[in-house]
Amino acid sequence: MIEILSVVKVILPAALTFLIGIMLTPHVADFLYKNKMWKKKSGKLDTAGNATPVYDKLYEKRDVGTPRMGGVIIWLSAFIIISLFWLLARFSPFEIFEKLEFLSRDQTWIPLAALMIGAFVGLLDDWLEIRGSRDNVSGGLSAKKRLAVVGLIGLLVSTWFYIKLGVSAIGIPFFGLLNIGFLIIPLFTIVIIIIYSGGVIDGLDGLSGGVLASMFSAYGIIAFAYDQINLAAFCAAIVGALLAFLWFNIPPARFYMSETGSMALTIVLAIVAFMTDALVGGVGLFVLPIIAFPLIATAGSSFLQIMSKKIRGKKIWLAAPLHHHFEAIGWPATKVVMRYWVISIIFASIGIIIALIG
């Protein structure tokens, strides 16, 4: 029988991060609007530095006037609650807080560190993009620099798991562990880069918040089933914070998640998948392409568009990533977003089932 305390330990952080996020938002939003933290010119350049006329037409009015950096709400809410429980466990006279604390070396130190590193690098990118867009539509850290940061994080995390924890296998459903030795290091580095690349899904009001909430919910359930209660509580805290963000990001968006949110969350998602894999005899990494299907499809659509233009000299989609193509053919943004939500929930559910029975 599931212990009531374990359930409370997981659900409580979600509720609290939601409340903290709701309370923080007016202050963060006021700061962002007061300081005009948005792009000063609409439009963007693709990864090759070329103009994107279809995107520019779709977003000529939406790109300007809506603040970036909304992802601060997500990681700051989670950080506050994690820190609060840590402090209460050590300085409160009530023993219950020791049982509710979920910051632990074996389960949540690495995800929290990755969350904060991704958040601050993303925040720097957002700031540079806002400042740079005063003179042109470019700005921010280059794609190569951002990918280098993400790749370095993946390299460090996977090396730690391989050398310090002896993880050298991946879980395969209905088969068991497949030992791949040191190849676990480049494999995970590639995986984390791909998942991060899917962060460009943050392109429509409510889109990234909704799909990421489904993904972290799925891994929270998987971690709970694998008896990783602290990791499950961590995922739940992220979900609660995402829902608070989503409350204000539903069309018309009060602000955009932007890089400070998408970089932090995609990095952590890949790490959580890694932690629910061979380390606990699970298949968390195997089901990642399923649970994170919207991110994989988004990254894949951009990659195929780039390759098609280089090899064939023409595009596959009217605009990339894929959600912009649907907009370009006439789908209302709200229809695109809600259908992505539905797809995300379905694939997350499939991933949970495979992880639990495999």
**Would you kindly state where each structural domain of the chain is located, as residue ranges?**
4-357
Instruction: Give 40's contacts (C-beta < 8 A, 6+ positions apart).
Output: 64, 130, 133, 134
User: First and final CA of the chain: distance in angstroms?
Assistant: 21
pLDDT band for 136, please (50, 70, 90 cuts): very low
Amino acid 338: pLDDT: 96
Contact 233, 102 (CB under 8 A): yes
Among 1-5, 97-101, 238-242, 324-328, which is the least confidently predicted range?
1-5
Determine what percent of the chain is predicted with pLDDT higher than 90.
Answer: 83
CA 279 to chain centre: 22
pLDDT band for 46, please (50, 70, 90 cuts): low
Q: Provide the 3-class DSSP secondary structure of residue 150.
A: helix
pLDDT at 50 over 80: no
**Pure H helices in the chain:** 4-34, 53-58, 72-91, 96-100, 109-132, 143-163, 184-197, 207-225, 229-249, 258-275, 288-291, 293-311, 322-328, 333-357
pLDDT at 56 over 80: no
Amino acid 61: pLDDT: 59
Per-residue pLDDT reduced to its tens digit, 106-130:
999 999 999 999 999 999 999 998 8
Amino acid 138: pLDDT: 55
pLDDT band for 313, please (50, 70, 90 cuts): confident
Establish how many alpha carbons lie within 13 A of residue 3's alpha carbon, considering only the half-sphere containing its beta carbon.
9
Amino acid 39: pLDDT: 82
pLDDT at 174 over 60: yes
Q: What is the DSSP string of 158-206?
A: HHHHHHTS---EEEETTTEEEE-GGGHHHHHHHHHHHHHHGGGGTTSTT
Residue carrying structure tokens 């489904």: 214
